[in-house]
Every structure is written in C-alpha cells, then in structure tokens.
Structure 1
Amino acid sequence: MRKDKVPTQRVPIPEPEDDYTGRVRILGAIVTGIIIVLIVRLVYLQVYDGAYYARLADGNRIRIIPSVAPRGNFYDRNGEPLVVNRPSFTASLLPLSEPPTKETLSRLSVLLQVPAEEIQKKIDSHVGLDPIRIKQDLGPELVTILEEQRSLYPGVIVEVQPIRDYIYHTWGAHALGYVSEISEAELEAKKDQGYKSGDIIGKFGLERVYDTDVRGVNGGRQVEVDVTGKPVQNLGTQPPVAGADLELTIDARIQVAAERAIAQQLGAIGAHAAAAVVMNPQTGEVLALASNPSFDPNFFVNGISEKNWKAINENPYHPMDNKAITGEYPPGSTFKIVTGTAALEEGKVTPQEIIYDPGYHWLIPKTNAGGEALGAINFVQALAHSDNVYFYEMGYRLGVDLLEKYTRMFGVGEKTGIDLPYESEGLAPSKAYKKANYEDDWYISETFDAAIGQGFNLVTPLQAAMIMGQIASGGNRYKPHLVNRIRAADGHIIREFKPELLSKLDVRPEVIAVVRQGLEDVASYGTAAGQFGPNYPVKIASKTGTAENPHGRDHGWFVAYAPVENPTIVIAVVVEQGGFGSQSAVPIAKKILDAAFNLKTPETEAVMQEVAIRRKS
C-alpha cells in the first residue's frame, strides 16, 4: 500500500540582522543609562548636597563688609579729651572671583596716588573675604569720583571708618603713643588673638600697652554684590562694639604747662632736648610726662609719609625716644639726696657735725663746681648750697659698696614698672660692676664722683622723680602709672588701678626729716632761690643739679616736691646740654608748679586757654 507523504512544516529562518540597526539599539541603551545616571546624580545633588552648593553660590554673590570698631577714647584725670576718633572714608577692594585687571589697578593707582605695585602687594598677601583696604582718610572729591564712576572701578567700595585723632599733636605723644596698620611680623605673632590683615593696632605708648582693651570688637554688613562687586542689597548688619575708654592720671593743664615751658626754655638757651616728669608721690600717679623733641602721632595713623619719616629719623636729638623713661643721665647733685640719706642712716655723720670746706677735699684735690669755699658747714647747709667738698667726704666715709646699697634701695638699677614700653634701668655702680665691665679696679676718686652723682651713675628722669618722691612720702616708693580706670562703652568700670607700694626706705624717720629740711632751704635760700625764694606762694623742697657731659655742655637738673606739709606734686626736669640746673631746669619746673597750684600768672592763663581751645577742637 502506498503511503502518502506527510508534508514537512517549514520553520522560518530569520534574516541576518542589519549592522546599523544593532548599533542604534546599543547606542539607545547607552543613552538611556546615561540619562538614568544623570537623573540619579541630579536627585543626589539636590537632596543630599543641595545646602552645600547653595552656600557656594552665596559665597560668589555675598560679601561681609566689616564695620571697624572705634577705639576707646583717652581722657585726662578731669575728663578732658586727649585722644578721640573722627569719621573717615577708606577705599577698599572686595575680593572677587576674578582679580582686578591691570587697567583697573592702574586707574585706581592714579586716582588714589598709591603705587600699583603696593596695591598688588596688598592683593597678593590678602587672605579671606574681608575687604582689602587700599587708602584711608579720603577727601570728599575722591569719594565722589568713586561713587559716581563705579563702573570704572569694579570691586572698589568706600567704607566709613573711625580714625584716630590726637588732639594735642606732639604734646604728650610719648605717653599716649600712636596706632598704625598691623605689620606682617605683628600679624604672625597676634593672629591667635583675633588680629587680621589690615587691622589698626597700637604701636607705641599707652596705645600699645592697652591695645586689647581699647580696640573693641568689629561688626559688619552682609551684602549681596553683582558681578562687578558692587553692593546691591543689604542682607544683615552686626553693629561694632566700641573699645573701652582710658581715664588717665595725666592732668591736661600740667601736661600743657610742661610742654610749653620746655619749648620756651629750649628756645631761650639754645638747647635741643629735655624731659620732665610730674607725679603724685603718695600714689604713683603720673600727672605729666613730657619729652622734647617729640613727634605727631597723627602722622602714623594713615601710614607715615616718606617726608615726615625722614624728618623724624634724621633728627639728631631722636624725637621717638621717650627721654623721660629711656634717657639715662648722670644725676649730678640731685644724687646728694641718696648720699646724704646713706651717710646719716649709717652714722657716718650727724646733722650737727661741722665739716670745713676750704674749696677742695683734703685727700684728693677735687673742688666745688664754681671753685668756691663755703668754710664750716653742717649737713643742712651743705645740702641747701650743694657743696661738693662736703659730699666728697660723705662718699669717702661711706665707700662705694654702701653707696650702691642705698642707690638700689632708692630704686636705681631696676625698672620702675611704669605702664609704658622701653623703660631703662639706670645704673648703680660698684666695684663688681667695674671689674665685670672694664676689668679694672675701683679708685677712690670714682667714689668721690659717685657721691655727687657723676662717674658711672645713671638715672632716668622718672627715677629721679621717684627718689625725690620717697623723701616726700616718708620713704614710700609707689609704682608709677598712667591709667586710673578702664571704662567700657556703656559706662561700667572694667578695671581700676590703686596705688601699689613697691618698697619702703629702710631709714629712720628722723633721717628723712633732716634731708627734707635741707631740701626746703634750697628753694628759699639755696641754689634755686633765684626763681623761688622765701616768698613763693607754695612752700617747696627742691634740689638742683649739674651733670658733666663728655659730649658737650653739662646737663641741667632740677627735682622738687610741694607743698612741703603734705606733698602731692613731685617734679623732675632734665635739660640736655643746658648748663647749670639752676639756670636751665629750674625755670621749667617753676612754670609747671605755677600751673599745678593754679597761681595767677600770664603763662598759667595761656595754659588754661590752650586746654579750652583743644577741648573745642
């Protein structure tokens, strides 16, 4: 039987895939994957990192413009302003993402008259987002140009800042000090204390010592800026906190009297330098501190000009030296206070003993300054008339080692601790000192020199005032200071300074009484009687001095305290190369005392007028 054939089912065979179609499919898969990744990344950036990138965006359009805190003012003991602040305009650059072009820097340099290299140096050394201060204390013309032509000066803003104003200019400059922009070395040393580039800090005097108290806390404005750095919206303000005020011990009347008297006397006698210290011997409060020649602290506020710096730096009498505390001079006959106290306390002489002065000492032919012979004299007479021969004998009886002991007891050879920088120690000579420094023995003639304040002896005017002050206060030596109180801007007292007793003379009261008697006679009948005399309205005790100077004329000295019944004023004046102290230093001290005790004289009236004028300014 024939079997029918079963038809075979045909399975379709796919045609070979076109290469182009395959590539499209692969590319589509890749694109789809990339889109998915981008979407995932976008979600991640928006959800998880959104705040971070928002801050970055704000950083490109938001700037903090600091508001500089005004420094605390300085007032004298009676509330008279000495150092204040005045408003000023400062041209500053905002740090932008793109640095200013050379064209902008050149245009700014010409307008502000600041070298382009100096501006570029400020930009290169700047760190952070604070404005870069280019020039302070702009005049109204420059401010107008910068405000009206903002498009020509992209990134430049005008800040209103307080600027230091020293009302009395050169007077009192060494005590008050000055401020200027912080240096790189200072910034490195103080950066942990919150100081930043461009900050104004105290460089000298009280401005330096009390800088952290008077500098205040800066505030600021948060502003939105456009692409050129121009502020377009204020987003918030933090007001600055003013620095604390200093209420000083200085009396403006006495300070002005001292400055005027020194200037007048230097002109009259042809001398070039002098210093004066006025203190309260019962508290250590410094009522005036003057050093001439001086400098104007206002020169330094905006950066001192080359012309002004050259005038100061090339002055042979060193205006920047505070001669009242750094100048070291042989004390001359004012040192007889120390020698006389030592001789009486050690029993080397009694007040009644008569010593004959033939015009020279019997052991070594050392004479009186003028060659005179005073004949038979006792202690009080010798001190009143500043007899060298008598005190040569005191030095001979004491010896240099005992003399050194009392010199140091009076505070010479160490710093007083006054709240000013760069104080000198003075020098109390001894055999050991000469051996260590000159590799030589001590000679009896050097003891004679030491006994009358010559030779190796050195004191500062401040130390001379404190020697006299210890006699005035019955032996107490108080730490000198220039600040009574530190007062916050809201009026509350932050710190108050009380009298600080440093030491007390290990001397019997009757010894001090004899020394005081001799000093009282100096002004009435002795070497200062020509200016004072017995009819001076205020009873004073004093001592003149003339110190030999190997480099020129002798230095003139005068120390005094008043009134003798209850001393509240002690003065020390030195005139470099002024000659006899009775002729050079005494006239200065008299004008100071006239003002201190409000005596009616033409000069005292002029002092009062000067203070009134400065107050109004």
Structure 2
Amino acid sequence: MKRSSRDTATSARRVSRRALVLGGLQLGVMGALGLRMRQMQIEQADEFRLLADENRINMRLIAPARGLIFDRNGRPIAENAQNYRIVIVKEDAGDVDEVIARLQKLIHLDEGELERARRELDRRSPFVPVTLTDQRSWEDIATVAVNAPALPGITPDVGLTRNYPLRDDFAHVVGYVGPVSDYDLSRMDDDDPLLQIPKFQIGKTGVENKLERRLRGKAGTKQIEVNAAGRVMRELGRDEGTPGSNLQLTVDAGLQNFVQARLALGHSAAAVVMDVRDGDLLAVGSAPAFDPNKFVRGISSADYALLTENMYRPLSNKAAQGGYPPGSTFKMMVTLAALEMGEVTPDETIWCPGYHTLGNRRFHCWKRGGHGHVDLEESLQQSCDVYYYELAQRVGIDKIAEMSRRFGFGHRFDVPMSAVTDGIMPTKQWKRDRYDKGWLVGDSLNAAIGQGFVLASPLQLAVMSARLASGSAIEPRLIKSVDGVETEVKGGGPLGVNENHLRRVRKAMYAVSNSRRGTAYGSRIQDEALALAGKTGTSQVRNITAAERARGVTSNADLPWKRRDHALFVGFAPYTAPRYAVSVVVEHGGGGSSAAAPVARDILLYALHGKLPPLESYPTSQRQEIEEMQRTLPLSPLDRDGGGRSRA
C-alpha cells in the first residue's frame, strides 16, 4: 500500500528528531569523556604519575653501620667486620639441589646452614635472595665468583657484622649483639622500622644493650624499580642514613686483659679497678668469661649448653651482678660509724678472748684463742671480730647503714652494664618490710663483720675503697666519650666524714698490708713509693655447728668447692698519693689473705706500671714464683709489655 506524502513527512520528522537526540547524547558523552581525559592527563597528571611510580618504585631500608666501641686509649673492642656471604635466587637457579651440590664441591657448607636456607627458600618468593652461608673467607668468595657460569642463581655478597677482636676480655662489659627476635620485639617499646629487617642485629647485653639506640644509628633508604611481578629491575637512588655513635670506654684494654688472665688462674672470681681521682672504671673483670662472637649470628644449642651448665657461671657478670657478703672488708664502715658517733676513740682497746657473749650465745672470733687487747689499728690489722661485735652493739645497725650508704653500699650505680645489683644494706625497717620481723642485736653483730643480711658487689666494694682513699663521693664512670664528646664526671663532693677519722682508717689499712702481723703482709708491695693499703675479708657460705667448732673447724681445703668461704680483698695504692682502688672476690676461694690479696696486689702493680710489673716490686722470697706465674699468664702479645698504652 502506497504511503501518503503526509505520512512520509511525519516519519521523516520523527527520524530527524531521534537522530538529533542520539547525536546530542553522543556528543555529550564524548564531551564528558574529553573533559575527563583532559582533567586526568593535565590537571591530575602529577597525582597519577605518583601512583604509577608507587607501583613501579619501592623504597627499601638500608641498615646503618653500627657505632664502634673503643677503650680509653683508642683500641677497638667492638667493630664492624665485612661479612662475606653467598646468596641464592631460586628462580635463577633452576634445579636448586643440583646447584647447591655443585657449590659443595667448591667450598664446605654446613648442613645446619643449608637446612635453614632450604626452609627459607620454601617460604620466600622465588625471586627473593636467600643467604646460603655467611662469615666466609675471601678465598671462598673468589672461588664462587670464578665459577659463576656453572652456578646459576648463586651470587657472592658482602655486608657488615659485629666483631669483638678481644674476644672474652670484654664479654661482660661490652656484651654482644644478636639477631632481633620476636621476644625482643615483644618487650621493647621501639617502633624503629630497622627492627623489622630479618636478622637485624641489636644489643643483647652490656653496653651494646644499654646504649642500643645510640649505637644503632638511623636507617637509610634506597629506591628500586620493580616490574609488575615485584621483581627488582634496577636501583634508582640511595641514602645511606646515619651511622651509630662511636663510644669510648674508660676501661684500659691492656689492664683488662691482665685482670681476666689473672682471675682465670682461679675457678670463679671478679675484680674491679677504679681511678680514685675521677671514678673511671679501668677494669671490670669476671671469670670465667666467654667469646661474645659466638652470639652474634645465634649461638648453637651445644655451645650454649656448655655455658649454662658450667658451675662457675661464665655468663654472669660477677663484678656488677654478684652480691656477696663483704666479710671483714666491711669493718671500715663500722669503724667510721663508731668514730663519728664518738662511741670509740682510736686508742681505746677492747678485750678479745676469742668470742663475744650475747645472752646465752657466743659470737666467735676467727682466731680461736683471741687477740687480747686491741685498739682500732690493731683490730683492722689483725681483723679481730670481737672488736666489731662490741662496736656494733654500741652504734646500732641504722647508724652503720647510714655510714655505709655514703660509701656506696645499698646503691645501684648508673653504669651501662646488665643487671647491676644494688646489693643489700639492711636496717631495722628493711627487715620489718622484708620479713615482717623485728631486728635483733645478733643481726647487728653478724652485720658488723660483713655477714648476715649485708650483700655487696665487687663494683660497690671498689667504690668504697676509692672513696676511702680520696675522701670524696666519686661515682663510677664507664663511658668516657660519645662521638668524641667527653661525658660528665659525676660525684666528687664531700662524704661528710671527719678527715681525721678517714686518716686513721687509711693508716690501719696500710698496717694490714705492711705490718708483720697484718693479714695481708704476704701480699705487700716491696717498693715503699707504691705501698698498698687494704683489707682482707673471708665470708662464710655455710653454718658452723657448735659440735664442729668444739672438735675444730673443718679446713676449706677439706670441703667441697661450693662449701668453701668466699675470699675478698679491697685496697688502694700508692698509700701516700692514691691513684687506683681495687676490689677482688674469689668465689669459694678460702681465705682473703691467701686467695684474693695476691690477685689484688698483682692487678694494682700492673695498673701502676702500665705493663707486667718488675720483679723488684715483690718481696725477694716470692720473685721466682711470681716470675713463673707471669710467664704462664695467657696474655695477648700486645698486652704482655703494656702495648705502649698510657698510664691513665
């Protein structure tokens, strides 16, 4: 049927309208797209370029170089050594077992290391490098590099790791570093991203731990370009970060080496040497010790068991952590308390029949037959116990404690070593708080001879000796400088003790070492200009029953090691112009005069001479024995002649 011209016109108008609407819509969409494209390509170009770069460029942390640690003369005692290692990339290696087998034909590989590496390869993406072995020699690295074509995926690499060149000499002072663990992270309030780096080394003990933040430094960064799979393509930029601070300790490496070697002649001992003028700790020894390098990468179970199962406790820093009954080395504190209170005069004598009676109990003197009439100087010279039982009854424990605290007892000194003890300086209130019991007069008598509740560390005993020698309240200092900036010398104010009383005590300590009846006469220094003033001490670790005392006290030599008395000695030299103070504790050593005093004399002589002391410093009858001892001491070659160190 033929359409009319009217229908045709109407239809044409409809088509035209639809075409216009559709065209308009198309133009609108295209215009919107154009505007959006313009906005994205021009106005938001920087923003999208940054987003693209974030997908293409990764930022990775660079561990900074750890700060170095030196002794007072600039000798390195903790350094960063190059760590040559061999890494493998799984996807480049192909058959990993085959490549490792080829590598084993060239260099020795520890099976334990390989097993850990295989576990790491299973956990990591195939393009992530995994360490097969580290701490390799340059020869091993060169061998791998030469044979690189036959070892696909294997690459020699180099980094930094901690090294302690003097090994066990500073194990208890400097401590050691080790890989950061989940346990470390759980107890640290530290959000430093460096701690998230696998096997990142942090300080675990000693100075390394206490000054961790200063030694650690600040992380650097590097920009790397990665592809869509996350594989590293190239390095775009690098910021090395800030290395850790360098520390200089007050300790003298030569003296420290001698102290450790001398202490090692016994089973278990500690010694501290202190400069009486400024409080510098010149040596802090604890024996036996251990090699801290074994902890750097993570010590093996077998090696760790050898340390923890050793009855002489090599992991313990006995010099700062150990709390020991000070024995007769405490008697100077009782003397000064009595003098200051006017409860005794230097010339007053007290009768010693060999015991002191309190109620129906006898407190015995170490000398069974007694010392007879003794005054202040004689009581210290011969270490009469009865004299101090009497003074304790007159003075009381609170006044004794007040005097003792002036000399460092019961105080935790602020030195950056692990688990520094504050010891125990008891009072009446202390016993009520601790045991809910009242103080007894018998407690005072025990405390008067350094037994009972009184405990002190060798560090505290050295401080006491230094304060007696100097007459000032000097504080121990271990950090000499940080990045070349000298640290503050603390203390040095007056002790608040009558100088005449101090002179009397020093004179009595001189008699201990230089009078024929003195308990340390056998350990005297022959050179009068270097004369030693000191005090021996012997502290019981077992109870002596009345029956045993009646038949005769068992000799230490006849007792098992752990039941023998501790041996102690404190002192300073030279007597006329004090320079150095020393304390020595020999665990279960027997007697202070026989076990501790000779060690203290040798240490002081080395400090005074700056090297192995000449035989002329010793009594003639002892020189042959001393010469043999010096010849067999396990000293480092540099320290046998002092290493050219200063007599600081």
Looking at structure 2, the residues matched to 481 and 373 of structure 1 have their Cα atoms a distance apart, in angstroms, of 42
Deviates more, 1:29-38 or 1:580-589: 29-38
Instruction: Pick closer, same or farther for the CA change 1:485–1:235 going to 2, 3 Å.
Output: same
Aligned to 2:470: 473
Instruction: Pick closer, same or farther for the CA change 1:499–1:10 going to 2, 3 Å.
Output: closer
Q: Which amino acid aligns with 1:197?
A: Q
Aligned to 2:521: 529
Aligned to 2:203: 202
CA contact (8 A) 1:167 1:614 kept: no
1:496 aligns with 2:492: no
Deviates more, 1:599-608 or 1:396-405: 599-608
**Of 533, 537, 540, which residue of structure 1 is paired with 2:532?**
540
Aligned to 2:593: 582
Deviates more, 1:295-304 or 1:163-172: 295-304
Note the C-alpha offset of 1:64.
4.5
Deviates more, 1:504-513 or 1:250-259: 504-513
Instruction: Pick closer, same or farther for the CA change 1:138–1:361 going to 2, 3 Å.
Output: same
Q: Which amino acid aligns with 1:275?
A: A
Count of aligned pairs: 582
Q: Which amino acid aligns with 2:505?
A: V
Looking at structure 1, the residues matched to 309 and 27 of structure 2 have their Cα atoms a distance apart, in angstroms, of 81
**Of 451, 455, 467, which residue of structure 1 is paired with 2:452?**
455
CA contact (8 A) 1:104 1:152 kept: no
- Summarize deviations over 1:5-45 as a string: whole Å, max 9, x none: xxx9962866999xxx9xxx99x989999888776665554
- Summarize deviations over 1:403-429 as a string: whole Å, max 9, x none: 222222322122122232321111112
**Of 479, 483, 486, which residue of structure 1 is paired with 2:479?**
483
Aligned to 1:3: none
**Of 426, 434, 437, which residue of structure 1 is paired with 2:434?**
437
Q: Which amino acid aligns with 1:308?
A: D
- Summarize deviations over 1:238-296 as a string: whole Å, max 9, x none: 334432211111011210111000001x1xxxx3x211111112211100001123232
Looking at structure 2, the residues matched to 87 and 253 of structure 1 have their Cα atoms a distance apart, in angstroms, of 26
CA contact (8 A) 1:277 1:572 kept: yes
- Secondary structure of the 1:171 match is helix
Aligned to 2:287: 292
Instruction: Pick closer, same or farther for the CA change 1:529–1:122 going to 2, 3 Å.
Output: farther
CA contact (8 A) 1:333 1:543 kept: yes
Note the C-alpha offset of 1:209.
2.0
Q: Which amino acid aligns with 1:594?
A: L
Aligned to 1:560: 571
1:600 aligns with 2:617: no
Identity %: 31
Query: What TM-score comes out, normalization by structure 2 length?
Result: 0.78
Unaligned stretches of 5+ residues in structure 2 = 101-109, 543-561, 616-626
Q: Which amino acid aligns with 1:85?
A: N
Looking at structure 1, the residues matched to 60 and 142 of structure 2 have their Cα atoms a distance apart, in angstroms, of 17
Instruction: Pick closer, same or farther for the CA change 1:351–1:178 going to 2, 3 Å.
Output: same
Instruction: Pick closer, same or farther for the CA change 1:346–1:76 going to 2, 3 Å.
Output: same
Instruction: Pick closer, same or farther for the CA change 1:613–1:473 going to 2, 3 Å.
Output: closer
Q: Which amino acid aligns with 2:160?
A: P
Unaligned stretches of 5+ residues in structure 1 = 1-7, 488-492
- Summarize deviations over 1:312-358 as a string: whole Å, max 9, x none: 23334333322111111100000001111111111111111122222
- Summarize deviations over 1:217-247 as a string: whole Å, max 9, x none: 3434434456787755443333344322111
Looking at structure 2, the residues matched to 224 and 521 of structure 1 have their Cα atoms a distance apart, in angstroms, of 78
Note the C-alpha offset of 1:65.
5.3
Greater percentage in helix: 2
**Of 502, 505, 508, which residue of structure 1 is paired with 2:495?**
505
CA contact (8 A) 1:523 1:542 kept: yes
CA contact (8 A) 1:283 1:478 kept: yes
Deviates more, 1:534-543 or 1:395-404: 534-543
Aligned to 1:172: 170
Query: What TM-score comes out, normalization by structure 1 length?
Result: 0.82
CA contact (8 A) 1:418 1:480 kept: yes
Q: Which amino acid aligns with 1:171?
A: D
Deviates more, 1:215-224 or 1:426-435: 215-224
Looking at structure 2, the residues matched to 331 and 110 of structure 1 have their Cα atoms a distance apart, in angstroms, of 50
Looking at structure 1, the residues matched to 291 and 210 of structure 2 have their Cα atoms a distance apart, in angstroms, of 19
- Secondary structure of the 1:549 match is coil
CA contact (8 A) 1:380 1:514 kept: yes
Alignment of 1:223-242 (within 5 A): 223-224=224-225, 233-242=234-243
Looking at structure 2, the residues matched to 374 and 119 of structure 1 have their Cα atoms a distance apart, in angstroms, of 73
Instruction: Pick closer, same or farther for the CA change 1:388–1:502 going to 2, 3 Å.
Output: same
Looking at structure 1, the residues matched to 540 and 271 of structure 2 have their Cα atoms a distance apart, in angstroms, of 19
Looking at structure 1, the residues matched to 293 and 387 of structure 2 have their Cα atoms a distance apart, in angstroms, of 51
CA contact (8 A) 1:119 1:134 kept: no
Q: Which amino acid aligns with 1:545?
A: G
